[in-house]
A and B are shown apart, each in its own frame.
Chain A
Amino acid sequence: MANFTDFLQLKTVQGTAVQTPHHTLIPESQALIIKFPFGGFVWQRPTAVLVQQGGHSQRLPITDVTRLATWSVLAASLLLPLLLRLIFKQATDAQQETLTAQ
């Protein structure tokens, strides 16, 4: 029987270390793999870089500002009309209540 991981995989991989005179860098990336019987899809993004210097290790995360901004804009475009509708509806209801009271 086919396993779920045969179709969908999310894995974090570390690359070969890059040596510079002062530092050693190890790149880290994340890959999403979707396999179909007659095709597939791969999405890979850099996640961090591990910096080693004199026995001291530091992890510097890589933030995709463009992706963050585009998703924020899309989320705002979905939420803002809903929010405006709620505000508009509340205002209309309040207006109608005032008219009925009069």
Chain B
Amino acid sequence: MSENYNKLLVESVPDQQSANELIGKLFDVTRPDAVFSQPVTVGDHTIITASEYSAGMGVGYGGGGGVGPAANEEASEPIGYGGGGGGGGGTTARPVATIIISPSGVRVEPIVDVTKIAITMFTALGAMAMALRKMKA
């Protein structure tokens, strides 16, 4: 179509490659070190925290161009082209358990997120109330 459009496409290739490299790095974090914390020793006791985590990421890009009708005979080739991209991601982590190592032995103590359970319970109760009301109607 035009040199400029080709240039735009060629220039966007390194950006796409770096985006793909960034996505690749997301999968490199699947190591147990990411889930288990460094041991903390206090006296005879050593504590390790185990957490659950999730991460998600996405990118998108595109470009395009076109040739329009000439406004007058002097304009040789009115063209338009453009490109763009965007991305987003997020991570969440939540402690699941604590591993306590003492001279007497090793024990795993669960960490209970009461707030999360309460929020789920209230949401579920609300949904149940609505479902029961619909059933009665």
Stretch with Cβ within 8 A of A (4 or more), from B2-10, B64-72, B73-81, B112-120: B112-120
Say whether, besides A42-B55, A46-B36, A73-B124, A66 and B96 are in contact (CB < 8 Å): yes
Size category, B interface: 35 or more
B32 touches A15 (CB 8 A): yes
Say whether, besides A40-B27, A73-B120, A77-B127, A64 and B110 are in contact (CB < 8 Å): yes
State how many angstroms separate the Cβ of A54 from the closest Cβ of chain B. 12
Q: Which residue of B lies closest to A21 (CB)?
A: B103
Contacts of A77 in B (CB 8 A): 124-125, 127-128
State how many angstroms separate the Cβ of A95 from the closest Cβ of chain B. 16
Per-residue CB proximity of A32-73 to B under 8 Å, as 1/0?
010110111111111001010000001011111111011001
Check: A74 CB closer than 8 A to any chain B CB: yes
Further contacts, 13 of them, CB under 8 A, given A18-B39, A23-B101, A40-B23: A13-B31, A15-B31, A18-B48, A39-B23, A41-B55, A41-B57, A42-B29, A44-B54, A45-B52, A46-B52, A66-B112, A77-B124, A77-B125
Closest 6 CB pairs of A and B: A15-B32, A39-B58, A77-B124, A46-B50, A31-B30, A65-B110
